[in-house]
Structure 1
Amino acid sequence: MAIEEEQQAVPIFLPEYISASNLSRALKQHVGPFLQDMEEMGFENVTSDTIFTGETAALIAMEYGFEPTVDTGSQRDLRPRPPPEDPSVLPSRPPVVTIMGHVDHGKTTLLDWLRKSSVAAQEHGGITQHIGAFVVKMSSGKSITFLDTPGHAAFLSMRQRGANVTDIVVLVVAADDSVKPQTLEALKHATSAKVPIIVAITKVDKEDARIEQVKADLSRHGVEIEDYGGDVQVVCVSGKTGQGMEDLEENIVTLSEILDVRAEDDGMAEGWVLESSIKPQGKAATILVKRGTLRPGDLIVAGKTWAKIRVLRNEAGLELDSAPPGTPVEILGWRELPTAGEQVIQSPDEAKAKTAVEYRMEMAEREQSSIQLAEQEQRQREKAAADAAAEGESGPTTAGESTEPGVLTQNFIVKADVVGSVEAVCGTILELGSHEVRPKILRSSAGQITESDIDHAATSNSIIVNFNCTIPPHIKQRAEEAKVKILDHKVIYHVVDDVKAALSDILPMNVSFRVHGEAEVLQVFPINLKKRVFRNIAGCRVRNGSIKKSSRVKVLRRGEVIYDGKIDTLKHVKKDVQEMGKGTECGIGLEGFEDFQPEDQIQTYEEIKERRYL
């Protein structure tokens, strides 16, 4: 019988995520023995609330003789199309070029020059808004799409994404400054994403330009440049005078022809979110279209939000009726702000878009709840361990609740102009701190500071970091009234400095003691104060330094402190004095202490408190 049963495995349908208690019910097992079986199978700390993924649950079900099918739910989600079988037959698209390099190395000047030429070609007025990407039309009629990634170390995460959507990286190195840490960082991203590089040596019009030095530095860091027999092109340019700019554009076109970048301009569109922010017209996101063509009225999904495209705009603020591959466009019509770096996929209809977003939300919630559960279990275990250990010293002061005993936390609320900056600023803040003080970000979002942010900061004792946003006057006033500190900056390095200072403020002070004088008790005199009230006074000789009446004082007996307090009387013979020097003899009476013995040491000291900095 048993053999027959084994051969006929019972089919079972499992969801993507399932709790241990539900799984035991589905497998017709009692929870208690089932959890014991789990432990035997090697699962640690399993409770009835532990959530398994469908794959894990399927393996467990097989152990019990079931034949599982896991609901992947993927039918509800939107997926990109499979890559084309033969890309060479597809129409070509403009190459996407990301400009990377160290801050202050002239990226912006270079971009402005390119942008001017693109604006001049389109014959519009100046750029009305900066959407982080723009298209330059060459005199030959070819187009190039430029992405502008910020140059700070903090925008690392964005830059990694930038390298994903990029065909060519232009690495900007200043001729007067050569290779810097951020230059190497950009290099690392480009090489890890296997993106070809063109080096642009900027500021060549400056007197202290050292072009050969830059080339030598680059080759030392593994860039195989043409002059040294490699295949990386180097162009000397100046964003101010425009020198070498046409060569740079030519090089980009030549390299893109070699790369032969192509994409379908039909079918369901795909792309990437470069940036998103709240504009007066509504929630806006800059999208780089990679495949297909976007048009107003299309439905798109990005991460856990979707949009019916209300308006497509190019970098000059002009409304477009279509956005083919390689085009950066600003899209209005989002339900929620998408996160920078999310993939954008076109949906055939609204129902599908909503279902996909619901599915993604569900997945995120389940993942979140399983993480929270794991964290809760971990906390309970740590608490039990901590309770078992001796009670340590009391936790931190009012600056904020502590995550670990002895660690002080300072709460922050982060607001920035765009989502990418929010992430970058949060990342930068969280990197600061030490084993004694740590930053904790309670809220972060794109957009201006709101009244609720001020109220939240006031109740949670938080500092608001405002990056690249204007602060309305009534908000400033409200913050002053609520005594909420706002750090308002446009440069990430200034944010770092201010956050460090704020964390330094809650660092406990360095307390040190400086001994000013030492006296030895030679004998003890009982002095009659009134009637039968006597008081012991120590007859002492000052061995070192001087004894001041105003100083704090310790009494040491055989190396142990038996009293710490203040001097009540200091006498020389019968006269009250304020200070006695080395080698003199004096009588010392202490506040609330009379238990002197000969050979006790009396030390006067001062407590020195020094501020510490991170």
Structure 2
Amino acid sequence: MSDDKKLTLSGRTTLGVGKGVETGQVRQNFSHGRSKAVVVERKKKRILTKGGAAAGSTPAETKPVAPKQTKSFTPKKPASPSGTTLTDAEMEKRAKVLGEAKIRAEAEAKEKAALEAKRAKEEAERKMREAAEAAARSEEDNARAKAEADAKKKAEAAAKQKAEAEAEKRLAEQKAAKEKAEAEAKKKADLEARAVQLRKASEARQASGGGDAQREERKGKPKRAKDRKNQNNNEQQNRRGRGGDDRRKGGRLSISNVGGEERQRSLASYKRMQAKKMGLAGNAGPSQPKQSREITVPEAISVQDLANRMAEKATSVLKTLMKLGVIATINETLDQDTAELVIEEFGHTAKRVSEADVEIGLVGEDDREEDLSPRAPIVTVMGHVDHGKTSLLDALRKANVVSGEAGGITQHIGAYQVAIDKDNKITFLDTPGHAAFTQMRARGASVTDIVVLVVAGDDGVMPQTIEAINHAKAAGVPLIVAINKMDREGANPDRVRQELLQHEVVVETFQGDTQEVEVSAITGMGLDKLKEALGLQAEILELKANPDRAAEGVVVEAKLDKGRGPVATVLVQRGTLKIGDIFVAGAEWGKVRALINDKGAQVKEAGPSVPVEVLGLNGTPGAGDDFAVVENEARAREVTAYRQDQALKKRQAAMAAPKTLESIFSKIKDDEGTQYFDVVLKGDVQGSVEAITQALQKAGNDDIQCRVIHGAVGGITETDIALAQASNALIMGFNVRPSRQAREAAETEGVTIKYYSIIYDLIDEVKAAMIGQLGPEFKENVIGQADIKEAFTAGKAGKAAGCFVIEGSIRRDCKARILRDDVIIYEGEINNLRRFKDDVNEVRSGQDCGMTFENYHDFRAGDVVEVYELLEVERKL
């Protein structure tokens, strides 16, 4: 069967695949020179037409189609699906459905038209907006171009003016240089003319020198030394002119002048000779008057430095010192008095300065009245521990600070700002109430304007309440009493008022001048009255400060933060502290990198009475140190270097304190009789370290003292471990932890590290450890006494004492001592105790007994035996 006959279907056109496919062969090339022959087929698209014939078939294969005859259209009734004619009801229903469909179509068309209109409107608005923006941008570009053109013109004008000024300056400099050169040339010509005149006069004198000398000799007049010297010079010159051999004036011997002619005189030698002749002839010009200077003299200055400042030779200064009776070298240091005498000898004026002068000008001058503006009052909250100071401040701030303090007590000074109303604010300092923080409370009272004394209504006046009253009186600040805990049963405000009278605090209820307010931090009772009282007191004080100046204030607290470095809480007292300011705080300085307010938010500046945390210090300052903004880093370094040097000198002086004989003996006695419990203390903030150090120093007695050999802010480091290991000390961390390396070093060296977050626990454990180091204390209890009536030999025991018990009883298990004329001659154990011939354990008063003593036989009749026992007593500090 041929290919054309294949795959036919009921006499129709052949459906074979061979005719609809074209085949070919191509060669594919690959990398590395490889190739491959590939067969490619391309299929033709088949287009089917009516009647089953493909589009590609020949016309002979398609059958002709007869044209259809058109018939007139006659409407018929639509037939039902079953072929039957529709009824009128069905026709009516169908018309109704078609009408509804038409209505829907019209509604959709209207909705579509409305949507298109809306889109067209939005498009138009967008185009208008884009056109307006383009116009605005064009205006901005034109304005910017105009501004740039103006700036360019100004810059060109300034550059032109600067160039003209520089040109004028250069012309002036050239003119001045020309005039100077002409003056120097004229001066040189005058000098040369003068030199020629002097040379001629000298030659004339030389020519007439011999005759003058003979005439003077004939007259018998003695020759002057000057004339003799001139004659000798003339003779030497004559010898040189006649070929004499004056080798002293021949100059240095070299290869070029060996065997040659005599060396010519140099210009410098000629000038020296002319100057010498001018001096001999008495024709030297008038000497310039000596210039008097003002010499700055520090507390100590070397001889060389003094000579440099006076522009004098060091040898001249040494000669002057020798005249004053001082033998010194140029490197020796002189005090201010000696240096001032030397300066006056040279005709200068001395100006004394001190090392402390570097701090002059650090604190600015007083402000003018017109520059002052009202500021917020600084209020310090004081009172006894657990009287509700921080809770009261929380109620005012609507915050929760108590939960952040370990043990519910405040152990740092916190600074917060509270708004009374829209315009007025109050800055609060919350000080700890525990007895160990006396110094911190004193520091808080020193910077405050008003003191709020918190007294619990159910507890009354307590020891720290009295201390707070004393601090407020010492600072001279007004006092407002807040009687707290009025919501508790048993709260008696009248009792508090009466107890305050004992300490000279008279409240307004008793016709005094001290305001008192009954408050409750829990219920909020009386808080508005307290704010009103504070506002009234601040209004009376008329507190003002100048915000437009360099900032000054005090460091309230300082700590070393692991992530942020040294952080200081400062209270600005006047001026405005800004980011980028360079300031000095105590013996440390820094540049303000960030300012953080009491809410934890970063601010750009802090005005008067505003507390902020400052980041950027080089070290941790002391709490209570003053801080001030300075003009540059050099000034800051100078001030801090002086303060660090003073602190070092103070420590060295303290170490070398005992100088008198009495103090030396006292120190020796203390060292012999007193034990020391050494501690290395690390805390989170400077105030806590100071407070704990003071509390530990007061914890000892005459037998043992606690000594803090190192106290600092920050985590426990390997250096602290090494120090504790070398000093056999205990490391105590207050709210800090050691690093991993320090922990490993402590385990290796066997150093104990204790961690605390509450000051009570730390002090109690240190006291217990100090008691343990002292060991048990024994108290002596005398049981009985016996008189030795006779001493006799007792066989192997050696010697025995026949005794009569006169008081108490004699027990064998107790210690004994023998007294002779009330002097102890023996102290030890009783070896044997007998009553008649029987060994007994106890002999009572009024009975005879015999005793032997351990390794002692040198007793005799008349001695007294005293028997006692040692009772262990618990030690207390």
Normalising by structure 1, what TM-score? 0.78
In the aligned structure 1, how far is the partner of 2:643 from the partner of 2:772? 42
Which residue does the alignment assign to 1:210? Answer: 492
1:604 aligns with 2:867: yes
Tell me by how many angstroms 1:268 deviates: 1.2
Distance 1:596 1:274, change over 3 A: closer
1:232 corresponds to 2:514: yes
Which of 420, 427, 430 aligns to 1:138? It is: 420
The answer to whether the aligner puts 1:311 opposite 2:574 as a matched pair is no
CA contact (8 A) 2:413 2:440 kept: no
Q: Does 2:379 align with 1:379?
A: no
Q: 2:844 matched to 1:562?
A: no
> Of Structure 1 and Structure 2, which has the larger fraction of its residues in strand?
1
Q: Is the 8 A contact 2:440 2:687 kept in 1?
A: yes
Residue 62 (structure 1) shift: 8.2
1:612 aligned counterpart, secondary structure: coil
Letter in 2 for 1:222: E
Cα distance 1:479–1:113, how it changes in 2: closer, same or farther (>3 A)?
farther
Is 2:698 the partner of 1:431?
Answer: yes
Greater shift after overlay, 586-595 or 509-518? 509-518
In structure 2, the partner of 1:389 is none
Pick which of 284-293 and 175-184 moved more. 175-184
**Per-residue CA shift, 1:564-601, capped at 9, x if unaligned?**
22233344555544444445544433332233434443
Q: Map of 1:292-331 to 2, 5 A cutoff?
A: 292-331=575-614
CA distance, structure 1, for counterparts of residue 660 and residue 436 of structure 2? 35
State which of 257, 265, 268 in structure 1 corresponds to 2:550. Answer: 268
Tell me if 1:359 matches 2:642: yes
Cα distance change, pair 32–592 in 1 and its aligned pair in 2 (3 A)? farther
How far has the Cα of 1:242 moved from its partner? Answer: 1.1
Cα deviation for residue 508 of structure 1 reads: 7.7
Q: What residue in structure 2 maps to residue 399 of structure 1? A: none
Alignment gaps of 5+ in structure 2: 1-291, 307-317, 328-332, 402-411
- Does the 8 Å CA contact 1:131/1:286 hold for their aligned counterparts? no
- Residue identity matched to 2:628: I
Q: Which has the higher contact order (CA 8 A, sep 6+)?
A: 1
- CA distance, structure 2, for counterparts of residue 480 and residue 212 of structure 1: 58
Relative to 1, partners in 2 of residues 1:278 and 1:559: Cα closer, same or farther, differing over 3 Å? closer
Determine if contact 1:132/1:148 at 8 Å carries over to the other structure.
yes
Distance verdict in 2 for CA 1:150–1:522, change over 3 Å = closer
Deviation, structure 1 residue 115 = 2.2
What is the aligned partner in structure 1 of residue 733 from structure 2? 466
Aligned to 2:389: 107
2:352 matches 1:83? no
Deviation, 1:423, is: 1.3
Kept in 1: contact 2:413–2:431 (CA 8 A): no
Deviates more, 1:442-451 or 1:583-592: 583-592
Indicate the residue corresponding to 2:708 in structure 1: 441
In structure 2, do the counterparts of structure 1 residues 147 and 594 end up closer, same or farther at CA, with 3 Å as the change threshold? closer
Alpha-carbon distance in 1 for matches of 2:661, 2:608: 53
Q: Does 1:178 align with 2:460?
A: yes
Matched, 1:550 2:813: yes
Superposition pairs of residues 179-198 of structure 1, within 5 angstroms: 179-198=461-480
| Structure 2 residue matching 1:424: 3-state secondary structure | helix
Distance 1:460 1:196 in 2: 48
Change in Cα spacing, 1:603 to 1:280, as seen in structure 2 (3 Å) is closer
Give the total of aligned pairs.
Answer: 554
Give the match's secondary structure for 1:94.
Answer: coil
Give the whole-Å Cα distance in 2 for the aligned partners of 1:232 and 1:598: 80
Tell me, in whole angstroms, the C-alpha distance in 2 between the residues paired with 1:26 and 1:438. Answer: 58
Partners of 2:357 and 2:784 lie apart in 1 by 83
- 1:590 paired with 2:857, answer no
Q: Using the TM superposition, name which of 506-515 and 548-557 deviates more.
A: 506-515
The alpha-carbon distance between structure 1 residues 602 and 417, as it changes in their structure 2 partners (threshold 3 A), is same
Q: Report if the CA contact (8 A) 2:450-2:479 is conserved.
A: yes
Hey, which bits of structure 1, 4+ residues long, moved more than 6 A?
A: 9-12, 29-34, 59-67, 471-478
Equivalent position SS for 1:257 = helix
Query: Percent identity over the alignment?
Result: 38
TM-superposed CA distance for 1:433, in Å, is: 3.1
Shift of 1:64: 12
Q: CA deviation at 1:17?
A: 6.3
Asked if 2 retains the 8 angstrom alpha-carbon contact of 1:406 and 1:436, the reply is yes
Report the AA paired with residue 326 of structure 1: S
* Structure 2 counterpart of 1:349, from 604, 608, 632: 632
Residue 541 (structure 1) shift: 4.2
Task: Map Cα deviations across residues 195-243 of structure 1 (whole Å, 9 max, x no partner).
Answer: 2222211111112111222223334432343323333322221111111
Is 1:157 the counterpart of 2:439 in the alignment? yes
Shift of 1:286: 0.6
Shift of 1:27: 9.7
Secondary structure at the aligned position of 1:379 is classed as coil
1:131-152, Cα deviation, whole Å (9 max, x unpaired): 8111112343422211111122
Per the TM alignment, residue 11 of structure 1 is displaced from its structure 2 partner at its CA by 7.9
* Residues 515-543 of structure 1 deviation map (CA, whole Å, 9 limit, x = unaligned): 334444444443444xxxx8333344444
Given that residues 583 and 628 in structure 2 are in contact (C-alpha distance below 8 angstroms), is that contact kept between their aligned partners in structure 1? Answer: yes
- How far is the alpha carbon of 1:469 from its aligned partner? 3.7
Q: Residue type matched to 2:567 in 1?
A: A
> Which one has the bigger helix percentage?
2
Q: Does 1:413 align with 2:695?
A: no
Shift of 1:107: 0.2
Q: Deviations over 1:259-285 (max 9, x none)?
A: 232222222111211101112322111
Tell me by how many angstroms 1:79 deviates. 0.8
Offset at 1:319? 1.2
Contact (CA 8 Å) 1:131, 1:315: kept in 2 or not? no
Q: 2-side partners of 1:434 and 1:475: how far apart?
A: 33
Runs of 5+ consecutive residues of structure 1 not aligned to the other structure: 1-8, 35-50, 120-129, 387-391, 396-401
Does the aligned pair in 2 maintain the 1:515–1:603 contact within 8 Å? yes
